[in-house]
Structure 1
Amino acid sequence: MWVLLGLLVSIERSWLWAWAAVGGTMVGLAAFDALLGISVKGISVMREVPGRFAVGEVGVVRLKVVHAAARRRRIEIFDGIPEGSDAPRMPWRGEVAGKSTTGIEHPVKILERGLAMFRPMHVRARSPLGLWWRAWRVGEEVAVKVYPDYEPTLRLALLSMASRQDQMGIVRKALVGSSRDFHQLREYREGDPWAQIDWKASSRRAQLISREFQEQRNQTLIFLADTGRRMRARDGELQQFDHCLNAMLLVASIALRQGDRVGVQSFGGSDLWMPPVKGFHSMPKVLDHLYDYRTTPAPSDFTAAAEKLQARQQRRAMVVLLTNLRGEDATELVPALASLTRRHVVVLASLRERTLEDARERPVEQFADALKFAAAEHYDRERAQTLASLRSHGVITLDVPADELPVALANRYLDIKAAGRL
């Protein structure tokens, strides 16, 4: 309207007074609206963040908006979620009634492990007439730990220890030889082997009594985790190291539940050490140690890793090296692991890259396809030769795709326990 009056003034000067009056009224209203809307003392926003997140899983962040003033206000809230996170309900927009408290819940999915930072929230409040927005920041920075998605891993471990391993492909090995510790005497059950019957106890009680055994406890499992640049390659949505992390968590949870000790050493640009811990109550300590492991651009020094581990772990243990084996590793890797086998049971768990499998299985239709196939075959042959050399030096080897590693490594751990090799 004020613009139209301005056009009229340009034609007819007698409309000048109306144009000035309307303009003055508008300026007055804007100033009055700004005066009413500038104060946000009656509005406070508080945030409650979960103590921990699991990577890729949704956590619920709770906001509380307290409005102490009498009139309604329209506000917008932009939560300062960590970079790279997903918060589909942000920003939040709505009206809050006078003298009220409004609760807001919004899901947040954090996509990277480690320490994530929630920054202060950005809040905007609209003036009563809607002519102005007042913006300010509220809240403190909050650091939260983002763990691997360990719940499925622990659930799998519980299944495995509840004699339901067949549901997930984990096979409980029969107890043989020196892997057995005496547990208790019980009544004979159909199917018990004759060697398990305690004839003296049976004679005293005038009924067949069997000896019951349990797997040896108080043994040690050490993970030697490669965090070098080779582990940065992605297999699906995850880095290869994250697949190894899932395997470590699964086997650690099984081992701790069985009464064994679990320790971790990293190498390849990092040198982190967690001395062996015991008992399933120690699983949070394992998680706290592993959750912020990062891959580095450094090469993997297998010799130095083996030397440090021998200095740190004098007692016999099952040592599991998790890496992505390369053909050129043989000259360094074989002597390093062979030196460990003098005292420890050594397992090499190597990830097979899906891209190489795809290259070998893809039809060869062009010259470029033939080159890729030949390169994949050569790479695979070098790996096979290195694995054969390791086995000849007493190293137990696993060479499986990344998504199969957790269950395969759990099976191998149970196999070694059952055979009494520790």
Structure 2
Amino acid sequence: MSLTRRSLFIALFIALLAIVGQWSPADIQSLWRYPAALLLFGLLLEGLRTRSNPLPVRRTLDEQLALGEPQPLHIEIHNPSTRPIAIRTQARYPDTLHGNESPEQWTIPAGELSTRTTMVTPLNLGSTGAGDLYTRVLGHLRLAWWSRKVTSSTLSRVVPRTLSRSEHAAGLLLSGERYTPSRFSSGDNLLALRDYRAGDPIKSIDWKATAKRGQPTVRVYAREQSLDVLLVIDAGRSSRLQAGRLTRLNHYINIAARLAQLACAHGDQIGLLGFSGQRLERAPLGHGARALQHVRNGLGQLQSRPDDFNPIAAALEVQKLLRQRSLVVFLCEMEQREAAEQLAKACTLLAPKHLAIVASLVDTDIKNLQQRECTDWLDPYRRFAAHEFTRSQQSTALHLHRLGTEVVLGTEDELDQRVIRRYQHLRSRQRV
């Protein structure tokens, strides 16, 4: 309970009346007790009425939330009384959610339902609630604000992100020009028919379609190509570092989940290997929705471990799992010198048979530090340290590229799309 200005003014009046009564005749000395009793009675009446008729407050969150993606949280407050009600609310979210926790002021007309929507961002996989909502309702006599805590009993499940419909469609978009046939119908799938163009091979002409249409028509084939894609996730202690609102591991999980969905839609085999100093999670290579679900389940079980990621041990494990040439995607750190050397050796082990992609996050804070204006005598040293850190990462990337490894670097907002584009590029060029 918090007193309003009206109650404070009444209390001040009672205090002044009591002070005046000390120097007044005896019949006036106890006069202050009557307004004091009225104030206490009014507060008691307000409290009983507010407690006996709590406002219906409902908070709804989707049953399934995407990790790191803002989600709507709906707050509904119904006023069943015959008078307008003033209410203040403040949310307190659990550690698994990030959202605006500033106080809000509501004025709800009599007999109406008021709804507001705020955005919250899931920070960890697993189950999460909507947290607590602290409310303060102004009493009908406007003497006090009455506090109440509203706890959400429903739980939502946080899962890795998925491709949007537009991204999924764009990833599967096949263009006849892109697949202009240098090969003919030896095992390829017929994609479409189009008009003859200068330079098209005579063998690609569909004479039956040409006769029906009355103009030269050629066949366009899409070569059936199935890849084996293995995702190797760094779950060592460096994966606990924050990169924006999420940890590195959670960013890697989102990237792996979306890449696996795209590869599955292309008909590729997908698998998962979670690694720190030893193997943590494993999903064997497979096709279709079942394999995708196994990968997503494995990603949901991944947690950062206190030991360092061992790329060499991971590469040896990869060699045991893969029997034919495959695409191996490492999602790991490459800033530390020792880790970079091990990563280079791991890529060397895989290079004769497999094609590796190494994807790593670029720290946004360090990137911004290089461009920040110096205002303190220590700022030049901080900028120099940031430049050295970035130079070390770029040097490692160049070394891996010389070994034949595809390297993808990007901030937490860029890396996801860059990895997907690199996969699509390699697939379209049939590099694997």
TM-score tier, shorter chain, comes to 0.7 to 0.9
SS in 2 for 1:85: strand
AA aligned to 2:272 is V
1:167 corresponds to which residue? none
SS in 2 for 1:197: helix
Matched, 1:221 2:233: no
2:275 corresponds to which residue? 267
Say if 1:177 and 1:420, in contact at 8 Å, map to a contact too: no
TM-score, normalised via structure 1 length: 0.73
Matched, 1:190 2:200: no
CA drift at 1:79: 4.2
* Cα 1:34–1:217 shift into 2, 3 Å: same
1:409 corresponds to which residue? 419
SS in 1 for 2:330: strand
Matched, 1:251 2:259: yes
SS in 1 for 2:94: coil
Matched, 1:4 2:12: no
Matched, 1:317 2:316: no
Say if 1:225 and 1:322, in contact at 8 Å, map to a contact too: yes
1:300 corresponds to which residue? 309
SS in 2 for 1:15: helix
SS in 2 for 1:271: strand
TM-score, normalised via structure 2 length: 0.71
1:211-246: CA deviation from partner (whole Å, max 9, x where unpaired): 432243443211112132344556667655565455
AA aligned to 2:117 is H
The gaps in structure 2 that reach 5 residues or longer are 1-12
Distance 1:296 1:232 in 2: 8
AA aligned to 2:61 is V
- Give the total of aligned pairs: 406
Say if 2:65 and 2:156, in contact at 8 Å, map to a contact too: yes
CA drift at 1:183: 1.3
1:50-82: CA deviation from partner (whole Å, max 9, x where unpaired): 223442525131424363x66665444444533
Aligned residue among 392, 399, 406 for 1:397: 406
AA aligned to 2:419 is L
Distance 1:79 1:313 in 2: 50
Aligned residue among 201, 207, 220 for 1:202: 207
AA aligned to 1:45 is V
Matched, 1:332 2:337: no
Distance 1:243 1:32 in 2: 54
Matched, 1:81 2:107: no
AA aligned to 1:317 is S
The gaps in structure 1 that reach 5 residues or longer are 165-170
Distance 2:22 2:410 in 1: 80
Say if 2:46 and 2:141, in contact at 8 Å, map to a contact too: yes
What is the percent sequence identity of the aligned residues?
18
Distance 1:47 1:195 in 2: 65
Distance 2:75 2:368 in 1: 45
RCO comparison, higher one (Cα < 8 Å, 6+): 1
Structural RMSD (CA): 4.7
* Cα 1:36–1:368 shift into 2, 3 Å: closer
* Cα 1:401–1:126 shift into 2, 3 Å: closer
2:57 corresponds to which residue? 45
SS in 2 for 1:122: strand
Say if 2:226 and 2:267, in contact at 8 Å, map to a contact too: yes
Say if 1:317 and 1:344, in contact at 8 Å, map to a contact too: yes
